[in-house]
Amino acid sequence: MTQGLPDEHFFESLGPATLQELAVLTDAVLIGAKTEGRIARVATLARSGPDSVTFLTDRRHAEALASGEAGACFLPDGLKHFTPPSTVALVTPLPQAAYAAAALRLHRPRLRAVDMPDIHPDAELEDGVEVEAGVTIGPGAAVGRGTRLCAGAAIGTGVKLGRNCYVGPNAIVGFALIGDNVRIYAGAVVGEAGFGATAGDRGVIDVPQLGRVILQDGVTIGANSCVDRGAYDDTVIGENTKIDNLVQIAHNVVIGRNCVLASQCGISGSVTIGDGCMLGGRVGVADHIDIGDGARLAAATGVIGNVKPGAVLAGTPARPVRQWLREIAWVSAMTRRQGNRGSGE
C-alpha cells in the first residue's frame, strides 16, 4: 500500500474525525500543540501523514514515529516522550485497541447490498467471459476476456480479474487485484480479513484489516486454500507461484516468483518468502520471518527464525536437513539399544 490508502475501490471513507472525537471514542488523553486538528485515515507508522492517526506499542519502533509525519498517535503513557512536536499524542493503555476503534470510525469495507442483482450493472466484463449459474459479481468489479467463473463463485466489489483466469465453484474473491492466467480452484477464499486481534477493555477484539491481495500473473490457488488480505499493507503472491489445496496464507505475507507450497502449509502474518522457494506439506512458518531465495523446507518443518537463501531445512525447529537426518538416526539407534537392554539381550 502507498500513502493515501486504504484503497477507495474496496474501502469507503466515512469522513474525517476531530482529535477530540477520537479521544472521547477511545478514552485517550490528548497531549500536543495542535489538538484541534482533524484525522481522515488510519495508517502504520511507516505510511503515516499529517491527516492520519497511527499507534505505537514498542519502543523499538519509536524512531519510525519520531521521523514520520503522523498527525496523531495512540501510545501508552510510558512512550509519550517519543512523540515529535508535529504529532499529537493520544495516550491510552491500549493503543492498538484504540487504533482499531479509530479504523472503524474512519473506514468501512465496500460490500454488496443484499438487494443487488447477481451481476451488478456497474461491473465490467470483457467479451468472452464465461459465467455459470449462481455467480455474483459486485459493483466496480472488472473481469478480463477468456476468464471462466464457475457455479457459485463470488467476485466482490472493486475486484479486478485479468484475462484467461479460472475461478472454481464456490470460490470467493474480494479486496483483490488479480493478473492474467490465474487459477483459483473450488472453495478457495481470497481477500478475507486476516487474523488480527488485540486486547481491548472488554476482552479480545478484532483489528480491522484494511489491505488488499495482489495475485500476479500465472498464480495458482488450490481448492479450499485461504489468502488473507493485508492488515495494513498488501498480501502479495508473485508470478507463477503455485499454492496447493488447504494452504493458509496470512495477512501481509509476500511470496516471490516461481514458488511451490504443498498442502496444509501455514504461513503466519508478515512473512516474506523469496523467489524459487519450495515448501513441503504441513510446513509451518512463524510470523515476521524472512525466507531467502531458493530455500527448500521439508514436509512438516517448523520455521521460527529467518532462513538463508538456498538453505535446505527439516524438523522442528528447522535446521539443516543433514543435521536433522543424523539426529533422527541417532535417536533411532539409541531407542533400539535401550529396547535390546530391556529384553535382556
Catalytic site includes residue 288:
no
Q: Which of 9, 107, 120, 251 is catalytic?
A: 251
C-alpha cell at 34: 495542535
Residue 75: closest CA among 39, 34, 45, 35: 45
Residue 256: closest CA among 291, 229, 231, 287: 291
- 342 to 67, 295, 305, 333: CA distances (angstroms): 67, 43, 39, 14
Q: Are 112 and 32 in contact (CB under 8 A)?
A: no
What is the number of H-type helices and E-type strands within the chain? 4, 40
Contacts of residue 74, Cβ cutoff 8 Å, sequence gap at least 6: 26, 28, 53, 54, 55, 56, 90, 92, 95, 96, 98, 99, 102
3-state secondary structure of 25: helix
Helices 19-26 & 95-106 angle (0-180, nearest 10): 120
How far apart CA 285 and CA 267 sit, in angstroms, is 5
3-state secondary structure of 24: helix
Q: How many CB atoms lie within 10 A of CB 292?
A: 18
The pTM score is 0.93
- 299 to 80, 220, 279, 285: CA distances (angstroms): 46, 20, 7, 12
* Pairing mode, strands 260-261 and 278-279: parallel
Per-residue pLDDT of the chain (345 residues; tens, 9 = 90+): 344 579 999 999 999 999 999 999 999 999 987 888 899 999 999 889 999 999 999 999 999 999 889 999 999 999 999 999 999 999 999 999 999 999 999 999 999 888 899 999 999 999 999 999 999 999 999 999 999 999 999 999 999 999 999 999 999 999 999 999 999 999 999 999 999 999 998 899 999 999 999 999 999 999 999 999 999 899 999 999 999 999 999 999 999 999 999 999 999 999 999 999 999 999 999 999 999 999 999 999 999 999 999 999 999 999 999 999 999 899 888 888 877 776 655
Per-residue confidence (pLDDT) for residue 75, from 0 to 100: 98
Q: How many CA atoms lie within 13 A of 268 on its CB side?
A: 12
When computed from its CA atoms, the radius of gyration of the chain, rounded to whole angstroms, is 24
- AA identity, residue 294: G
How far apart CA 137 and CA 47 sit, in angstroms, is 31
Residue 88's Cα: distance from chain center in Å? 29
Residue 201: closest CA among 106, 95, 105: 95
